[in-house]
Copies of this chain bind each other. A is one copy, B any other.
Amino acid sequence: MMAKQLLTAALSRLQRGGLTIIFWDGDERTFGPDEPYFTLRIKDPSVVRSLLTNVSLTLGEAYADGRIDIEGPLTGLVRLKQENQSALEHLFGRLPRLPRTRNTRGSQRKQIAHHYDLGNEFYALWLDTGLTYSCAYFHSPEDTLESAQEHKIDYVLRKLHLRPGQRLLDIGSGWGTLLLTAAEKYEVHGLGVTLSDQQLAHAREAAGRRGLSDRVRFELANYQDLPERGERFDRIVSVGMFEHVGRGNHAAYYRAVHDMLVDGGVTVLHTITHQRETPNDPWIDKHIFPGGHVPSNREIMAALPDQGLRLVDYENLRPHYALTLAEWLRRYERHRDEVIAMFDERFYRMWRLWLSHSTAAFRYGAIDLSQYVLTKGVTDDLPLTRHSWYRE
């Protein structure tokens, strides 16, 4: 069978690691110079041909459907790919070109709903109690997820150099914890915008419960619609939203931030980045984050000066997202039965693969977590050193 031969030929080029494949007919083959990371069971011959055409989409869909199974850590897939980039280029280089971004102002609300409106009770199963759905910040790998998320919020707020009475805009405010913490700790006035109904409802309820409704507003709004309102901010923060801005829309984001920020104002951008410009993964694009796009760090850097935004500080928190995701995955797997009851087995497997994939992507350096501190224009109104960010 031609397709099987092509697949085994590609895998025979592995230079590190290894895997075992058990085919539908019982044929078992092991590839690679090292101990196999996992065993792939291919139950259906059609999978192989499909793998050669669109490896990522096929793996994702066939795993969800149960047409393939993986014994051993799901993270092994990404690890193998990262460690054998040139050997597997042939296989992964066949990534079909995506159609031009479908991420437009019109599509964004639907795209966000696809992911974030799955139900607050779903996210509550495996996120921390604050529902902080972005990379945590671990002072030590032994930190609990709860305390690492508190550290993260504290850290981002320190990087913003907030002062009482300032106006803070949170673009992509999620379930609201960061903005509410800022208002409580730094006595700032906050506006948080999201495109998710469920996040909005939760955040508003939390603001009321914490007695902050007079100082913090949450709105269902697209950041692109904000500048024309004329409201200006001393500080702007965005944590884990930039991945949804979409290819080709980044300049619009920077421009919006520039236009809404006062001169000398500070903005913190927290986003996943690639080392190099990388096409969207077709499986993630179709099933997980429609319209999303992970830019490269250098694309971001290249665009900033033209928008009058000056880089003050950059930190790569890659290992922290590997820790965060590993803990999300552990919790998610512990709640298998609840997830299946909420959705179905297929959904459970799809998201299990996705959380595993993401864990591994950070652990093995396929992607990074980047935190940028930027100022609008030149300012000397910030501390001379970072020391205050690290005081207990």
Find chain B residues with CB under 8 A from A275 CB.
305, 310
A71 at interface by CB-CB < 8 Å = no
**Contact A313–B314 (Cβ < 8 Å):** yes
Known: A311-B314, A319-B384, A384-B141. A378 touches B390 (CB 8 A): no
A window 93-146: CB within 8 A of B? 137-141
How far apart are the CA atoms of A310 and B302 in the complex, in Å?
A: 16
A window 246-304: CB within 8 A of B? 275-276, 296-298, 301-302, 304
Known: A298-B302, A365-B378. A386 touches B384 (CB 8 A): no
Find chain B residues with CB under 8 A from A139 CB.
384-385, 387
Find chain B residues with CB under 8 A from A386 CB.
315, 386, 389-390
A contacts with B: majority SS: mixed
**Minimal beta-carbon separation of A138 from chain B (angstroms):** 6
A63 at interface by CB-CB < 8 Å = no
For A304, the closest partner residue in chain B by CB is B298
Known: A276-B305, A385-B139. A297 touches B315 (CB 8 A): no
**Minimal beta-carbon separation of A305 from chain B (angstroms):** 4
Of listed A141, A316, A389, residue having the most chain B CB within 10 A: A316
A341 at interface by CB-CB < 8 Å = no
**Contact B320–A384 (Cβ < 8 Å):** yes
**Minimal beta-carbon separation of A222 from chain B (angstroms):** 28
- Determine how many copies of this chain the complex contains: 2
A364 at interface by CB-CB < 8 Å = yes
Contact of A301 among B301, B310, B312, B378 (CB under 8 A): B301
**Contact A380–B319 (Cβ < 8 Å):** yes
**Contact B316–A313 (Cβ < 8 Å):** yes
**Contact A310–B365 (Cβ < 8 Å):** yes
For A140, the closest partner residue in chain B by CB is B384
Known: A275-B310, A310-B316. A384 touches B138 (CB 8 A): yes
**Minimal beta-carbon separation of A334 from chain B (angstroms):** 25
**Contact A302–B301 (Cβ < 8 Å):** yes
How far apart are the CA atoms of A316 and B372 in the complex, in Å?
A: 12
How far apart are the CA atoms of A378 and B78 in the complex, in Å?
A: 14
For A306, the closest partner residue in chain B by CB is B276
How far apart are the CA atoms of A378 and B364 in the complex, in Å?
A: 7
**Minimal beta-carbon separation of A302 from chain B (angstroms):** 5
**Minimal beta-carbon separation of A267 from chain B (angstroms):** 14
Find chain B residues with CB under 8 A from A365 CB.
310, 377-378
Find chain B residues with CB under 8 A from A364 CB.
378
How far apart are the CA atoms of A365 and B382 in the complex, in Å?
A: 14
**Minimal beta-carbon separation of A363 from chain B (angstroms):** 8
**Contact B296–A298 (Cβ < 8 Å):** no
**Minimal beta-carbon separation of A351 from chain B (angstroms):** 26
For A388, the closest partner residue in chain B by CB is B390
**Minimal beta-carbon separation of A294 from chain B (angstroms):** 14
How far apart are the CA atoms of A385 and B136 in the complex, in Å?
A: 12
Contact of A296 among B305, B314, B315, B387 (CB under 8 A): B305
By Cβ-Cβ distance, the 9 closest A-B pairs, closest first, are A365-B378, A314-B314, A301-B301, A390-B390, A275-B305, A298-B301, A298-B302, A312-B316, A276-B305
Given contacts A312-B315, A313-B314, 15 further A-B contacts (CB under 8 A): A137-B385, A138-B384, A275-B305, A276-B306, A297-B305, A298-B298, A298-B304, A302-B302, A312-B316, A314-B315, A319-B380, A320-B384, A365-B378, A389-B390, A390-B390
Residues of A bordering B, CB below 8 Å? 137-141, 275-276, 296-298, 301-302, 304-306, 310-316, 318-320, 364-365, 368, 377-378, 380, 384-387, 389-390
